[in-house]
Structure 1
Amino acid sequence: MAINNPYATYQNNSVNTSTPGELTLMLYNGCLKFIEQGKRALEEGRIEEKNKSIQKAQAIISELMLTLDTSYPVAKNMLVLYEFANSRLIDGNIKNDSAFFDEASSIITEFRDTWKQVIQINRQKQYGSVDGI
């Protein structure tokens, strides 16, 4: 229960008070976290844990895909890259090969870093500051 857990309360408040852009950044970071957890679990032979972590990363990618507005040409290109990253996670999960996870992680890292820059530029335009990210 969040009331008894200060960390859970903080997380809940972070999500509830974040802008849509910040939420997207959280999704990217969460996806990367789960990919790393999956890689670590694979290295340690914890196959079930690997599978759970990779499936969580896939769920995040699916959510990112669903929220794209494909009326913009760039979104269609992003969709292709999300699909590719997702396929790399599936292949890595099936074949127990972390090289596939690295490929997916690389794509998501690029998206995350670009998104972070967009947020910083927008903040700078809005508030004259890029602090806080």
Structure 2
Amino acid sequence: MTTNKAYSTYQNNTVNTASSGELTLMLYNGCMKFIKQAMKDIESNNFEAKNTNIQKAQNIIQELMITLDPKAEISKQIMPLYEYMHFQLKEANVKNDPVILEEVLGFVTEFRDTWKQVIIQTRKQNYTKQGAQI
């Protein structure tokens, strides 16, 4: 039981100390996890769990939509993709269609991979700036 408490404390600390970029990356990873689990749930005819996992993925997509900066030009391009993914998750849930989930998983994976590269580039730039100041 203490192992679970220690892990829970670690998870809370990870979230509480993460940058906004790292939090976004965590959201993408969580969304991917829930979609993959929903696909397994469909395969095993566990429709209650499938519904729960798809709803969790939908909630994450909604959170990503809310956090977009409407002033940023890129947000105007990303929002329709998020809306499409959200709609497709609803369709997959109603139709129990793993093919639709696979499509959404592909989009989320692309977003996650791109976001990961943004974080890496930002860290490199910050490191270079800090090195120049010393």
Return the TM-score normalized by structure 2: 0.91
Q: What is the rounded CA distance, in whole Å, between the counterparts of 2:103 and 2:57 in structure 1?
A: 13
What is the distance in 2 between the residues matched to 1:12 and 1:84? 31
What does 1:1-133 align with in structure 2 at a 5 Å threshold?
5-127=5-127
Q: Contact (CA 8 Å) 1:92, 1:98: kept in 2 or not?
A: yes
By how many angstroms is 1:69 displaced?
A: 0.8
User: Take 2:69 and 2:4, find their aligned partners in 1: how far apart are those partners?
Assistant: 39
Q: CA RMSD in A?
A: 1.6
| Counterpart for residue 132 of structure 2 | none
Question: Which AA in structure 2 matches 1:101?
Answer: L
Query: Residues of 2 paired with 1:25 and 1:2: CA distance?
Result: 28
Unaligned runs of 5+ in 1: 129-133
- Amino acid across the alignment from 1:89: L
4+ residue segments displaced more than 2 Å: 1-4
CA distance in 2, matches of 1:97, 1:113: 25
1:41-88 CA-to-partner distances (Å, cap 9, x unmatched) read 110110000000000000000000001012122101100000011111
Residues 2 and 57 of structure 1: is their aligned pair in 2 closer, same or farther, counting only changes over 3 Å?
farther
What is the aligned length? Answer: 128
* 1:85-120 deviations in Å (ceiling 9; x for gaps): 111111010000101101111111111100000000
Percent of matched pairs sharing the same residue:
52
Give the Å deviation of 1:126: 1.5
Q: RCO higher in 1 or 2 (8 Å CA, sep ≥ 6)?
A: 2
Distance 1:2 1:91 in 2: 41
**Which structure has more helix as a fraction of its residues?**
2
* Pairwise CA distance, 1:127: 2.2
Q: Structure 2: state its 5+ residue gaps.
A: 129-134
